[in-house]
A and B are shown apart, each in its own frame.
Chain A
């Protein structure tokens, strides 16, 4: 009997030690990508212990290094059900504290029953005033170049190319030249021979109709 108690004690201690010393990486990732609504009107969100407020942008917000791993849920939804009960949102994966969160779809009942309700953007509380100021101004002082770059292997032919969108801020010294080019409806296009890599460029400027950038993609 004494031996049985000793064996059971060792067993229980081993389970407790393993519990204290380790956590689950997948569970940590789920927690790291989960945001919760703080109020019923869904205007405030808590993500990684930071408060985000809903912001109405005049145009589309472009997020660099965008990842769609985020899940937005009510506060009482358990973390393991965030995928099925939550709505997906995107954010900058390289930032510890992203400035913007973008929610595309709202989940009404289950993972198979989502509706597009228009993009909803949430802004970090500490950046809210700055972003609001940019949003409310008529003219912006940044220009972005958006182009489609082919990341396929050299031997790739046909239309299964790996095109990815790249956004880069254009230096101020080129702004005037770009303005003149846009006024004359000039487009820069690199033609390619069949089978070779090709890129299509479209230069646009930020204006009052958009918050950050407007572009055409191919």
Chain B
């Protein structure tokens, strides 16, 4: 049943995002064709080329934003609007619902990243593209020479961190929507309020921490010294711990939001 859910969501994402991704590739092609008319020290060419680059960048940003917005809208429409009446009659648990929505969102987020990558390849196709790959290969090779297999670990950790970070961002939105639907009226407004409240709380905690660290640095001096000593003695282990710790934190945060959203969906569903 989850497979069918995923398939259905996949189709609705595809219908809306695919044309946008094709537009990005089209703009990249136009950018490449403009380079046919490259003339040295021509302000007209420079203006047109720069404009096409700016257009490509804006298109990429719009696609990324659209992917997130679509994920949030599909979650709300599929589970908390009139479509939710049908969704919640299916033999699927709330966890499976959330997991299906999250999976499809992650797949299309990866698709957006791939589209942007292909667009950059098209816009630089030819000698420039080859030189870009050569430069990337050289830097990777240099990295491997310098730190060996640690490079592979770093790459894996960064990839895992990126996936967990995107999942966490989406789970925050799902959490806000789930809390929002508890209200009898103006559910979306409450969802925005929850998002704003979350942001404000994290900013307050962060700022308080910075103020304390600035006003009374001696409180943390011992801790700083221990951390600095450890980092100096075990440079690679320290950086792996930072990355893995960050990824774990993202996972824990996402898990908390997942559990709260699931509980609300299971016990406090309000589809009025």
Contact = CB atoms under 8 A, between A and B. Distances in A.
A19 B33 contact: no
Contact of A21 (B29, B36, B132): B36
Contacts of B134: 78-80
A79 B33 CA distance: 23
A76 interface: yes
B93 to A, nearest CB: 38
A11 interface: yes
A76 B142 CA distance: 11
8 cross-chain pairs, A with B, having the tightest CB-CB distances, nearest first = A19-B126, A78-B134, A80-B135, A78-B135, A18-B32, A22-B36, A80-B131, A19-B125
Contacts of B139: 81
A158 B152 CA distance: 59
Interface residues of B, number: 20
Nearest to A29: B40
A18 B32 CA distance: 7
A78 B122 contact: no
Contacts of A24: 35, 38, 126-128
20 contacts: A11-B29, A15-B29, A18-B32, A18-B35, A19-B32, A19-B126, A21-B36, A22-B36, A22-B38, A22-B126, A24-B126, A76-B138, A77-B138, A78-B131, A78-B135, A78-B137, A79-B131, A80-B131, A80-B134, A80-B135
Nearest to B122: A15
A25 B40 CA distance: 7
Interface in B216-253: none
A81 to B, nearest CB: 5
Interface residues of A, number: 18
A81 B138 contact: yes
A23 B29 CA distance: 15
A15 B32 contact: yes
B118 to A, nearest CB: 11
Interface in B24-43: 25, 29, 32-33, 35-36, 38, 40
Contacts of B126: 18-20, 22-24
A8 to B, nearest CB: 10
Contacts of A22: 35-36, 38, 126
Contacts of A78: 131, 134-135, 137-138
A21 B32 CA distance: 11
A79 B35 CA distance: 20
Contacts of A15: 29, 32, 122, 125
Nearest to B35: A22
Nearest to A11: B29
A18 B33 contact: yes
B29 A80 contact: no
A14 interface: yes
Given A14-B29, A78-B135, A27 B128 contact: yes
Interface string B122-164: 1001111001101101110000000000000000000000000
Given A22-B38, A78-B138, 20 more contacts: A14-B29, A14-B33, A15-B32, A15-B125, A18-B32, A18-B33, A18-B36, A18-B125, A22-B126, A23-B127, A24-B126, A27-B127, A76-B138, A77-B138, A79-B131, A79-B134, A80-B131, A80-B132, A80-B134, A80-B135
